[in-house]
Amino acid sequence: MALDDTKNFCKVSVTGSYTDTDTSITLVSGDGAKLPIPPFNLVWYDETNYPDVVSDPNKEIIRVTAISTDTLTVVRGQEGTTAVAHTDGTMINALTEKTIDDINAHIIDTSNPHNVTAAQVGAITKVEDDIAPKLGGNLNSNGHIVIDSDNAIYNNIINKIIVPLRRFTIFSFETYDFVKTAVSGSGAVGQSFSSSVVHTGTTANSEALEYLNSAAQSLGSSIHILMYLYTRALSGNTLGFMGVSSKLLSAQTSRVLTDIHAGIFYEDGKYYASSADGTNQELTELSITGFSNYLHLYYDGSKVRFYVGNTLVATHTTYAVAGAYPQIYVNDKGTGVNTVLYWYNFYRR
């Protein structure tokens, strides 16, 4: 869209009396040449009695559509002002709300208002051909990158921006007083900077759980979480879980869980993406043999998506997240194997 022409310090004087419907206005001789090229807006007011334009109760914004020497053709009562009768008066080419709105609209205009050609910008003919694919996304009609969870955009943004900067870490296990633990047998938990570890030890039927149990940290209806998880000694008939759950997983002995949750289970040498809405559970066996990568769970109100690194590994439509808390849990299920899980930062958005 074209912006109105303007001039600095532009003030003209009106001669004559006008009703609130007159659209042909005469200026004093020579003042027509002081104005910019139409169309543009002017503020009409009584400078004699109201030197400050803001104080004039009859101030009016008009739109000049044509100029013939010193005669203006105008549209009355613009930008929320009311057309009123005037005698003589002053008009100024002031900065009005319309000017700012037009500038903002021009900035986000994607219709190529300046008619820029491909030859002028060189090899990059469209932003979406170059930038968006590097983030794993596309551009919509407004030129904004589409956050499409079916591609790698989340992981790229997180891995390349959030994780290196560490500026968006909402919490780590070791930094909050509401970190809770539950152990049995030789199970134990440990913490270090920005990390947490749970392990069972070597006593049969041992377990270890660490979790955040605070209403302030329970998950809402739409959320992203990112965890860096490292597993060691998960083998055979042992059980592990990393993710969020409304049920504290103490005494959990299998991957079967219908309480509200979303996360990754390990059992019997296999990994599973798992989620439930409080009644039904959805399980997807994952084709991974070891786990040392970013786990990214994304909830958008209609499904939950599971990423390992940059790869979408499962999409579930059976889930809920309200009231679920971050947890890591291991249970050796009577094997005496020292099962270990590491959790490195939890990101929430």
pLDDT tens digits, one per residue of 301-323: 778 888 776 778 899 988 776 77
Q: How far apart are CA 16 and CA 43, in angstroms?
A: 17
Secondary structure of 177-197 as H, E, C letters: CCEEEEEECCCEEEEECCEEE
Highest mean pLDDT of the ranges 68-72, 295-299, 311-315: 68-72
Q: Stretch 116-133: mean pLDDT, rounded? A: 53
Q: Which of 262, 301, 251 is nearest to 284 (CA)?
A: 262
What letter represents residue 311's amino acid?
A: T
Residue 289: its pLDDT value, please? Answer: 63
pLDDT at position 126 is 46
Contact between 39 and 65 (Cβ < 8 Å): yes
Q: Is the peptide bond before 39 cis (omega within 30 degrees of 0)?
A: yes
Residue environment code for 131-141, b if the CB has 16+ CB neighbours within 10 A, otherwise e: ebeebbbebee
pLDDT reading at 75 higher than 90: yes
For residue 22, pLDDT over 90 is answered with: yes
Tell me how many degrees the CA angle 196-201-205 measures, rounded to the nearest 5: 115
DSSP letter for 277, please: -
Indicate the pLDDT class of residue 57, thresholds 50, 70 and 90: very high
Q: How far apart are the first and last CA of the chain?
A: 36
* Total Cβ atoms within 10 A of residue 84: 15
In which region does residue 98 sit, left (phi positive, over 0), alpha (psi from -120 to 50) or beta (all else)? alpha
The pLDDT assigned to 339 comes to 78
In this predicted structure, what is the pLDDT of residue 288?
74
Give the DSSP H/E element, type plus range, for residue 153: helix 153-157
What does the alpha-carbon distance between residue 322 and residue 259 come to, in Å, rounded to a whole number?
11
User: Of 153-157, 204-208, 240-244, which one has max mean pLDDT?
Assistant: 204-208
For the chain, list the domains and their CATH numbers: 11-104 (2.40.10), 115-159 (no CATH), 173-348 (2.60.120.200)
pLDDT at position 47 is: 93
pLDDT, residue 71, reads 97
Confidence grade of residue 16 (pLDDT, cut at 50, 70, 90): very high
Residue 60: strand pairing partners: 44
User: pLDDT band at residue 168, thresholds of 50, 70 and 90?
Assistant: very low
DSSP-assigned letter for residue 134? H
CB 158 within 8 A of CB 296: yes
Closest CA to 155 of 128, 137, 129: 137
CA 345, distance to chain mean position in Å, is 20
> Residue 205 and residue 250: Cα distance in Å, rounded?
12
CA dihedral (312, 317, 321, 327) positive or negative: negative
Give the separation between CA 227 and CA 329, rounded to whole angstroms: 14
Torsion angles phi and psi, residue 207, rounded to 5: -150, 165
DSSP run (H or E) holding 107? helix 97-107
Chain Cα centroid distance, residue 274: 26
Residue 66: pLDDT above 70? yes
Ramachandran area for residue 25 (φ above 0: left; ψ -120 to 50: alpha; else beta):
beta
Q: Once rounded to an integer, what is the mean pLDDT over residues 88-107? A: 85
Nearest one of 79, 83, 81 to 98, comparing CA atoms:
79
The number of beta carbons lying within 10 Å of the beta carbon of residue 29 is 11
